[in-house]
Amino acid sequence: MSYFYENKFVQIIIACLIPFIGGFIVGFYSQKNMHPWYETLRQPSWWNPPRGLFGVVWSILYVLMGYASYRVWENGSGFSGAAKIPLIIYGITLFINWTWPLVFFTFHLIGFATIHLIVLLGFIIATCIAFMGVDQIAGFLYIPYILWITLATTITFSTWRLNLHEKR
């Protein structure tokens, strides 16, 4: 068991897998309720990312998030040191992130999904700031996540507005 505690490579892999595992489970479940509903939505004309882009972007973001959490864990002495509060905020952020597809794709609550993303964005920014207090690189690793969720929030809000009076 000490192998896992002493081997930094294994720790990095585990830290990077945590976001993937939650994302995979929720993604698998929410896919069941996505089609054909999603295809019937009116989408903003200015940009609707191709489906293949989502998997690539989320894979990169999950690796960045996981590696950032590892750096904070390592440089902030885990839950017994300066990393405790930033990692708790990170855990809350992951939970909010993982629940968004359920709100949008499973329950089809586009307006609430927009609010959900605004809350998520606030927690992502809080995580970024908290991580920077322990490890600046970890904080900077969150900038692509902030940008992606800002875009997702804009797209989701626009989709909600375009479908506000539609009965689906």
Which pair of structure tokens corresponds to residue 52? 């293949």
pLDDT value of residue 104: 96
Residue 126 CA neighbour count, 13 Å, CB half: 16
Does a structural domain hold residue 28? yes
Q: Specify the CATH number for the domain of residue 146.
A: 1.20.1260.100
Q: pTM for this structure?
A: 0.92
Concatenated DSSP letters for the chain?
-HHHHH-HHHHHHHHHHHHHHHHHHHHHHHHTTTTTHHHHS---SS----HHHHHHHHHHHHHHHHHHHHHHHHHTTGGGTTTHHHHHHHHHHHHHHHHHHIIIIIT--HHHHHHHHHHHHHHHHHHHHHHHHH-HHHHHTTHHHHHHHHHHHHHHHHHHHHTTT---
Question: pLDDT at position 12, please?
Answer: 96
Residue 35: the pLDDT is 83
**Is 1 part of a structural domain of the chain?**
no
Residue 121 lies in a domain: yes
For 60, what's the count of Cα atoms within 13 Å in the CB-facing half-sphere?
10
Residue 49: per-residue pLDDT: 75
What is the per-residue pLDDT for 1?
A: 52
Q: Kindly state whether residue 99 falls inside one of the protein's structural domains.
A: yes
Quote the pLDDT of residue 65: 98
Please tell me the predicted confidence (pLDDT) of residue 121.
98
Specify the number of domains making up the chain: 1
Within a domain: 123: yes
User: Is there a domain that residue 65 lies in?
Assistant: yes
Q: What is the pLDDT of residue 97?
A: 98
Residue 130 within any structural domain of the chain: yes
Could you tell me if residue 3 is inside a domain? no
User: What are the Cα distances from residue 101, in Å, to 40, 56, 86, 155?
Assistant: 17, 17, 24, 14
Domain limits for position 124: 8-42+49-162
Predicted pLDDT at 33: 81
10-residue mean pLDDT series, the chain (168 residues): 74 96 91 87 85 91 98 94 97 98 95 98 98 98 98 96 83
Q: Are 141 and 64 in contact (CB under 8 A)?
A: yes
Nearest in space to 87 (alpha carbons), one of 102, 107, 65? 65
- In the prediction, which pLDDT does 99 show? 97
Position 47 scores a pLDDT of 80
